[in-house]
């Protein structure tokens, strides 16, 4: 059975805590390994390694850092399948979905390779007689990355690639549910030529999170996970005078107008709701149909498509989605289906009790696709994030009523509208109170050269993730005013420019 330890100062090290946690293969429902849980001393060792490396790394030119990032990029492109396999075996998403995740992570690394341009400051010549003014972007120091189980490669690349190319060093605490891919990435960075200590990985639980958010040498914390933990990390980081970007949960709505192409819309909705077993913070979990006729047509088309979905073990390339990540999470999602039924919603398709025919996977954490109609905004199952292969249908009469649902929900991560009406799409995108909007796009995850971030209780942050927002988060600006001439007399009033 495999043991996953920490990666500190360029090498694997044993944990000093003596504590560990089981890692499972979700398709089989069996333990596949043990992951060490860091002690405070383990975290401190990782921070010390990063701090020592920073003293040299901060002075490495952006061009030299970008060249190493390009070597790392080449390794990622060569090893996509290797990383995807590790993801599938421990997370449960299908191998093709995992490869897609790796590719989206690679896009963030591609963006980071442009560091010499991205880190350019501003220059003003002769702002006053013989005086110039310019700004520089400087690294912060040691930063922390605390990343989720559902994207063990993509989300970390938003943080690790951008932070390190800006001249920082990183201590990364991945999810303890799927530690294999993060540790492999640390190996790749050493292989690419990054100095020891630029990236350190500590596996752990709340002990590690608390230490990272309080450690004096950590200057900034990046987090993606559930809203309660995001708020906890944000508040704790700020209490210890750190920058923080903490992305939380979601309840993403797709608004379907009467003029929408039902075939295209339901194809998009099918993948957005059930892909990756719904374990995406940008998954569509609520379809808001404008008009009963729209709802009936959507349900009729969806029902046929859902019945043809293939649910199987994660390494099946023909599977549409695989198991959920853990037995505990499976039980939690089932409890929300129970809740919706008790609240009076209509279960059109019930995924509870789903089992694969193959006895080999009898203990896997599988849940069939679930479709629930007649959901209302007052239901608790609507208010909370389900994070599973479950789609709720809400029926409304107007676009204005539809738009109020995502705008008034406590989460504000992503939303989309499907329509052939440009005026309706523009009204929606301009006025809906949500951070990321798709127009005939079901999962509007921005490309790496833009930025990712929700509103309201979906994000607690000074800056969004990746793109130029990421560059700004991981750097601080120094402004220099320079004059080269002699013979000035003393001035006792505030300086003015002339």
Q: Give the span between the Cα atoms of 205 and 174, in whole angstroms.
A: 9
Residue 87, CA distances (Å) to 70, 81, 315 in order: 23, 10, 10
Residue 312, CB half-sphere, CA atoms under 13 Å: how many?
13
Query: Beta strands of 303-452 (E only): which ranges?
Result: 346-349, 370-373, 390-396, 411-412, 414-418, 436-439
Rg (CA), the chain: 24
Supply angle C-alpha 155, 248, 390, rounded to 5: 90
Cβ contacts of residue 117 below 8 Å, gap of 6+?
Answer: none
Task: Give the helix/strand (H/E) hosting 427.
Answer: helix 422-431
Q: Which residues of 247-260 are buried (b: 16+ CB within 10 A; e: fewer)?
A: bbbbbbbbbbbeeb
DSSP per residue, 221-289 = EEEES-HHHHHHHHHHHHHTT-EEEEE----EEEEE-TTS-HHHHHHHHHHHHHGGGG--TT-EEEEEE
Coil vs helix vs strand at 371: strand
| Interstrand relation of 390-396 and 218-224 (parallel, antiparallel or unpaired) | unpaired
Q: Which has the closest alpha carbon to 437: 466, 467, 406?
A: 406
113 is a catalytic site residue = no
Q: What is the DSSP string of 158-227?
A: HHHHHHHHTT-EEEEE--TTS-HHHHHHHHHHHHHTPPTTSEEE---SHHHHHHHHH-TTEEEEEEES-H
**SS3 of 428, please?**
helix
Q: Which of 113, 166, 169, 281 is catalytic?
A: 281
DSSP state of 49: H
Q: Are 347 and 341 in contact (CB under 8 A)?
A: yes
Closest CA to 17 of 216, 162, 207, 264: 207
Instruction: Identify the CA nearest to 87 among candidates 97, 77, 76, 73.
Output: 97
Residue with tokens 């029902």: 303
Q: What angle do CA 269, 273, 275 make, to 5 degrees?
A: 105
What does the chain come to in residues?
498
Rounded CA separation 143/221 (Å): 6
Cβ within 8 Å of residue 482, ≥6 positions away: 131, 132, 133, 134
Short-list 460, 455, 421, CA closest to 252: 455
Element (H, E) at 41: helix 40-57
Which amino acids are annotated catalytic?
Answer: 281
């Amino acid at each position: 059975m495999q043991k996953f330890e920490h990666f500190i100062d360029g090498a694997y090290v044993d944990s000093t805590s003596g504590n560990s946690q089981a890692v499972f293969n979700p398709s089989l429902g069996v333990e596949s390994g043990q992951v060490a849980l860091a002690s405070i001393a383990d975290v401190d060792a990782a921070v010390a390694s990063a701090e020592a490396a920073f003293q040299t790394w901060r002075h490495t030119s952006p061009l030299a850092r970008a060249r190493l990032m390009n070597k790392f990029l080449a390794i990622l492109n060569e090893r996509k399948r290797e990383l995807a396999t590790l993801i599938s075996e421990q997370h449960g998403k299908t191998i093709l979905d995992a490869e897609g995740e790796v590719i989206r992570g690679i896009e963030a690394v591609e963006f980071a390779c442009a560091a010499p341009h991205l880190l350019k400051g501003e220059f003003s010549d002769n702002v006053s007689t013989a005086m110039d003014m310019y700004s520089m972007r400087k690294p912060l120091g040691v930063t922390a990355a605390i990343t989720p189980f559902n994207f063990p490669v993509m989300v970390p690349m938003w943080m690790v690639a951008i932070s390190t190319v800006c001249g920082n060093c990183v201590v990364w605490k991945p999810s303890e549910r799927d530690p294999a891919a993060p540790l492999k990435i640390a190996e790749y960075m050493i292989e690419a030529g990054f100095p020891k200590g630029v990236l350190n990985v500590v596996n752990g639980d709340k002990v590690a999170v608390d230490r990272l958010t309080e450690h004096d040498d950590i200057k900034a914390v990046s987090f993606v996970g559930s809203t309660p933990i995001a708020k906890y990390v944000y508040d704790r980081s700020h209490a210890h005078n750190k920058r923080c970007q903490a992305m939380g949960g979601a309840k993403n709505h797709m608004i379907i107008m009467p003029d929408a192409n039902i075939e295209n819309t339901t194809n998009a909705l099918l993948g957005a709701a059930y892909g990756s077993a719904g374990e995406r913070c940008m998954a569509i979990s609520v379809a808001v149909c404008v008009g009963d006729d729209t709802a009936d047509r959507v349900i009729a088309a969806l029902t046929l498509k859902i019945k043809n979905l293939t649910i199987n073990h994660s390494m099946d390339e023909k599977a549409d989605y695989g198991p959920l990540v853990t037995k505990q999470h499976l039980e939690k999602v089932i409890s929300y289906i129970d809740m919706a039924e008790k609240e009076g919603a209509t279960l059109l398709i019930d995924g509870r009790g789903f089992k694969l025919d193959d006895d080999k996977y009898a203990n896997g954490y599988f849940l069939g696709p679930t479709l629930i109609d007649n959901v209302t905004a007052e239901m608790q199952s609507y208010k909370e994030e389900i994070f599973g292969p479950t789609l709720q249908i809400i029926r409304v009469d107007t676009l204005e009523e539809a738009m109020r649902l995502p705008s008034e929900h406590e989460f504000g991560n992503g939303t989309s509208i499907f329509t052939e009406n440009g005026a309706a799409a523009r009204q929606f995108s301009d006025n809906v109170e949500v951070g990321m909007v798709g127009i005939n796009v079901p999962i509007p995850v921005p490309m790496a050269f833009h930025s990712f971030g929700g509103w309201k209780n979906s994000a607690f942050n000074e800056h969004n993730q990746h793109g130029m927002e990421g560059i700004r988060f991981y750097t601080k600006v120094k402004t220099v005013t320079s004059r080269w001439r002699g013979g000035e007399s003393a001035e006792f009033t505030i300086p003015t420019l002339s």
